[in-house]
Amino acid sequence: MDNAIAMCRYHHREMGESPARFMEMLNDLYGPGHMEILREKSNGIFKTTKALRLEIGKFYREQYREWEANPDGHIWISYN
């Protein structure tokens, strides 16, 4: 996954109260190039059909099975 952050309750509240600080932390963590890719993805429109939604679900179920088999070595991949 290229857009997930896990935080404790304290930091989740603190970063939620200060979006500018949160963005600064993300830039430091991921780098400006990665953040630009995430911005482009968030601004894009991803239209789906029922067949595509089924394909996406299949993709993530397979990702989950791979993670269950090897939680420490699995690298999550985004569908898009």
Residue pLDDT, tens place only, 32-58: 898 898 888 888 787 889 999 999 999
Sort 34 into a burial class: Cβ within 10 Å, 0-12 / 13-18 / 19+.
middle
Residue 25: which domain range?
9-43
Domain annotation covers residue 4:
no
62 in the same domain as 36: no
Q: What is the pLDDT of residue 59?
A: 94
Domain annotation covers residue 14:
yes
Q: What is the pLDDT of residue 9?
A: 94
57 in the same domain as 80: yes
List, for residues 13-22, the tens digit of each pLDDT value: 999 999 999 9
CA 45-51-54 angle, 5° bins: 90
Domain count, the chain: 2
Closest by CA position to 52, among listed 21, 32, 13, 80: 80
Domain annotation covers residue 2:
no
67 in the same domain as 55: yes
36 in the same domain as 22: yes
Tell me, yes or no, if the pTM score tops 0.75: no
